[in-house]
Amino acid sequence: MIRLASAAALLCFAVAPAAAREETTLAEGWRFHLGDVTSDATAPGFDDAAWQPVAVPHTWNKLGSYELKRRADANTTRGIGWYRLRFTAPPAAKGERVYLQFDAASIIADVWLNGRKLGHHEGAFSRFRVDATDAVRAGENVLAVKVDNSKPDPGSTTEFVVPISGDFFMYGGLYRPVSMIVAEQAHVDLLDHGGPGIYGRVTAIDAAKADVAIRARLRNAGRSGAFTLRASVADAVGKQIARVEQPLRLAAGATIDREVALSIANPRRWNGLADPYLYRMTVELVGKGGTVLDRVGQPLGLRTVAVDPDRGVILNGQPLRLRGVNRHQDRQDKGWAITAADQQQDMALIEELGANSVRLAHYNHAETFYDLADRNGMVLWAELGLVNLASIPNKADTPPQMKASAESQLTELIRQNYNHPSVAVWSIGNEITNWSSKGLTPSNARPLLTALNTLAKREDPNRPTTLAVCCEVLPGDKPDGRDETSGTADTVGYNVYYGWYVSGRVADASKLGDVMRGWHREKPTLPMGVGEYGAGGAITQHTDNVDGGKIESIYRPQAEEIQAVVHELSWAQLKPLDFLWGTWVWQMFDATSDLREEGDSTDINTKGLVTFDRGVKKDAYWFYKAAWSKARVLYLAGRRYVDRAYPVTAIRAYANAPEARLSVNGRDLGTAPCPNSVCVWPRVRLASGENAVVATAGDQTDRMTLRYSGPIDAIHVRTGSLEGVTVAGTRYGSDDFFDGGLGYTLNPYSRELYATGQAKKVPKIVAGATDPALYASWRAGKAFRYALPLPDGAYRVTLHLFDPVEGKRVFTVTPSGGKPVRVDLAAKTGGPLKATTLDLRATAKGGVLSLDFKGEDGEAIVSAIDVVPA
């Protein structure tokens, strides 16, 4: 029985003769103080009247907003927070035990009741309980909890509590529910690492019968006596279909394990999205006269799971390719203190996407989400919160305290979630590496990971283990001293960001397939998947051509279009690789990271397919919905880029139809094929003003409005850049209409300084630049061409030029309708980082004005282009 505490926090410990334990949620009436206190806050008489009234779940931290600077109301305090709750309770019934349950407290928690210390817990993500029997009393009770989310600096309270590193913010507080449980002296153990105390597993299954073993951990804090252990299984409508009883004796003070076996005829399997059928197992401890002393129920899914290096996940004997997303548990303005309704919304969005799996990054998530996954058939990758480091900084070997923390939290993860059929694999960590922006750092991770894998197999021999790996040497490369952690678990999930981090070029996403095939050739017996891949996407930042420049993967801008195309190319590479046991997009929702100033946000990792507040589904979300969902999908991408920089643009749509048709202002532009769910109409001309764009595919229709407010007979290009700019009233679009060459940035964000939390480097300055924004990037190459869409006629072309490096650079520019013009840039400017311009005459013919660049001595280069009527 679960009861909600009233606003007055009156707790009722009424005897429940046959209803076993009673649980009361402690939500209202708390007082909170941020920071330590000078007097004894654990004392019942301590005056907390000035403390802040709060409800639990609660966190004091707040950060993450779609602004270019940290939000004004941000709270990034890491340290101690105090909670106190007064309640009135009648005396506990004779023979009962009282426990306090904390579903999570970050990072360290100490608990007192009526001034008596009850317990200490380390680890931010798992449930724990403390025995309050000897401290609870009639009349007023005072519960005091000190939580501490201090940074894991040397000598700090959290120095050895994993994770000691991670690209996500560690919120502080009692951010999941707190409750009080009253049980009989003899009961299913409530102190079993926060677990349910009962654990069911399938020992054999076929079409006729399933054999199930249920293990119960029993605790007797009372007198020795004879008891009966009763276990039963009910089907999805609650009908009991199997039952077994076992007599036993429990000595005073004993804690024992007992296992019973039963069979289920004509079993219906839990089979993921196809059929997430759930039984329910119940264990009862029965005393004299048939009195039920305790009763615990848990989900039971009948299924088998394995992972094969060539066929991937084998669920119930059949291959099941997992296509999923990573999920962090935080939400804008709430942090980690989210509600059940929030989690239900998350699951609904993931289901709508068409995913069949979720990686719970990078820690133990709330039980509510596991329950949702069970009911909805979502296959889970459940993960220990061991991230990046297997030791404290600058130490190779794992300190014993850190190893103990990891082992304790892994035990909690497994015991608390053992009965969820949705959990397919236990992950022993994420990106445990000695490779950093500064190069190799001391690390000896394999002993820790091997020990954790052994622990996971001991706790649960029936599930595979995995490890997310990011930074090992690439296939075919020689070892260079990095830790090789793949192979310490049964399987591996590689975190690979081709098209984003690796080179900063979108086209590199097309290398992903070759890399995964290479690893598969080198490690043919190791089942492998892709634990993370993706790109950042800001819904207020846009580009005209995703290949126009080098991506700022850890700064700004991060155009929404880039994210979408990286995912298009990545999924096209991953989809045909049947040996992969699964692939997981990083990530489903934008999430907090106080390390990041990215895109249009601060303190947010922008790689979500949906915004932090769950309010906007980005273009990439709709791509996956078209690629994965069984629902019919047609979606016009780029709809938030309303005011276009150029009168000619490409239009993209996502559809799971073979082709789609497009019209602009009622003008039929015909059909486009939609291979891999992507339909493209290149070089669509827009009229001045608003343009009504309509796509159709079968009975599906989608619409958007695009606007062009610039001149029809002029064009201004900011070359080498993914970002447009307005200079002295003239709008320059981001780089487009080119063929060949590469885009570069004068002052790219420094990964080294980012990693150390410092600001950008002192910027380079181009001398003599009247408008520095036009010399902030460039396109260069031995040969490249611009084909600018302009009405036929004569034009004046101005090229903005500079050399970013010292040396000789000679190239030619050939305008359409004109002769080659030779440019000796060093002679023209007198040295590097000096601005100059070159004026040309050109003629547009057939709606195109071309500029051909060819390097003679070094590469040709241009930093901006102006074309106006002659």
Count, in order, helices (H) and strands (E) of the chain. Answer: 9, 56
Residue 61: partners with Cβ closer than 8 Å, 6 or more residues away? 75, 76, 77, 149, 169, 171, 172, 173, 335
Name the CA radius of gyration of the chain, rounded: 31
Q: How many domains does the chain have?
A: 5
Q: CB-based contacts of 447: which residues, under 8 Å, 6+ apart?
A: 397, 398
**How many CA atoms lie within 13 Å of 477's alpha carbon, on the beta-carbon side?**
12
Q: How many CB atoms lie within 10 A of CB 628?
A: 18
Q: How many whole angstroms separate alpha carbon 132 and alpha carbon 111?
A: 10
Distance between alpha carbon 704 and the CA centroid of its chain, in Å? 30
Q: Give the separation between CA 802 and CA 864, rounded to whole angstroms.
A: 10
191 occurs within a structural domain: no
Under 8 Å between Cβ of 624 and 583: no
User: What was the pLDDT predicted at 138?
Assistant: 82
221: CATH: 2.60.40.10
Structural domain contains residue 310: no
192 occurs within a structural domain: no
Based on the domain organization, do 564 and 668 belong to the same domain? Answer: no
| Cα–Cα distance for residue pair 842/87, rounded to 1 Å | 84
For 326-361, letters b (16+ CB in 10 Å) and e give: bbbbbbbebbbbbeeebbeebbebbbebbbbbbbbb
Q: Are 739 and 698 members of one domain?
A: no
Identify the residue whose tokens are 């019968």: 209
Q: How many CB atoms within 10 Å of residue 606?
A: 28
Q: Are 442 and 395 in contact (CB under 8 A)?
A: yes
Other Cβ atoms within 10 Å of 857 Cβ, number: 12
Q: 295: which 2 tokens?
A: 């009763």
Query: Are 854 and 780 spatial neighbours (Cβ–Cβ below 8 Å)?
Result: no
0.85 exceeded by pTM:
yes
Residues 652, 624 within the same domain:
no
What sign results for the dihedral spanned by CA atoms 811, 815, 820, 821?
Answer: negative
Query: Domain limits at 248?
Result: 198-300
134 plus 65 within the same structural domain: yes
Cα separations in angstroms, 215 against 83, 283, 528, 609: 37, 9, 32, 41
751 shares a domain with 688: no
User: Domain for residue 189, yes or no?
Assistant: no
CA distance 672 to 681: 7
Ramachandran angles phi, psi of 597, nearest 5° = -125, 90
Q: Are residues 291 and 354 in the same domain?
A: no
Q: How distant, in Å, are the alpha carbons of 152, 362, 390, 589, 669 from that of 170? A: 11, 11, 18, 17, 51
Q: Work out the number of other CB atoms within 10 angstroms of the CB of residue 863.
A: 29
Nearest to 783 by CA among 851, 683, 866: 851
Last residue of a domain, one of 585, 605, 629: 629
Residue 358 sits in the same domain as residue 435: yes
Residue 380, SS3 per DSSP: strand
Scored b (16 or more CB within 10 A) or e, 252-284 reads eeeeeebebebbbeebebbbbbeebbbbbbbbb
pLDDT along the chain (870 residues), means of 10: 34 40 94 96 97 98 97 98 88 77 98 98 98 91 97 98 97 97 96 98 98 98 96 98 98 97 98 98 96 97 98 98 98 98 98 98 98 98 97 94 98 98 98 79 93 98 97 92 94 97 91 97 98 98 97 93 98 98 98 95 98 98 98 98 98 98 98 98 97 97 98 97 97 98 89 50 88 97 98 98 96 98 97 98 98 98 98
Based on the domain organization, do 550 and 412 belong to the same domain? Answer: yes
Q: Which of 708, 726, 743 is the last residue of a domain?
A: 708
Are 652 and 682 in contact by the 8 Å Cβ rule? The answer is: no
* Residues 222 and 81 both lie in one domain: no
Cβ atoms of residues 629 and 641 within 8 Å: no
Q: Which of 298, 371, 381 shows the shortest CA–CA distance to 340?
A: 371
Where helices occur in 579-655 by DSSP H, the ranges are 619-628
Co-location of 174 and 238 in the same domain: no
Could you tell me which of 530, 544, 534, 92 has the C-alpha nearest to residue 312?
530
Same domain, 558 and 413: yes
309 in a structural domain? no
Token reading at 411: 């035990």
String of DSSP letters for 734-764 = ES-SEES-EEEESSPPPHHHHHTT--PPPPP
- Residue 508 CA to residue 512 CA, distance in Å, equals 8
Nearest to 537 by CA among 627, 637, 628: 637
pLDDT of residue 65: 97
Does residue 58 belong to any structural domain of this protein?
Answer: yes
Nearest-angstrom CA–CA distance, 99 and 118 = 10
Alpha-carbon dihedral 19, 25, 28, 32, rounded to 10 degrees: 140
C-alpha of 344 from chain center: 17
Residue 638 resides in a domain: no
Point out which residues pair with 325 in neighbouring strands.
358, 585
pLDDT for 434:
80
Catalytic residue annotation: 431
Instruction: Give the residue from 658, 677, 708 where a domain finishes.
Output: 708
Sign of CA dihedral 156, 158, 160, 163: negative
CA-CA-CA-CA torsion sign (10, 11, 16, 21): positive
Q: 162 and 27 share a domain?
A: yes
CATH number reported for the structural domain that contains residue 539 in this entry: 3.20.20.80
pLDDT of residue 761: 59
Asked whether residue 840 is domain-assigned, the answer is yes
Q: What is the CATH number of the domain that holds 768?
A: 2.60.120.430
Element of type H or E holding 563 = helix 560-574
Residue 4 has a pLDDT of 34
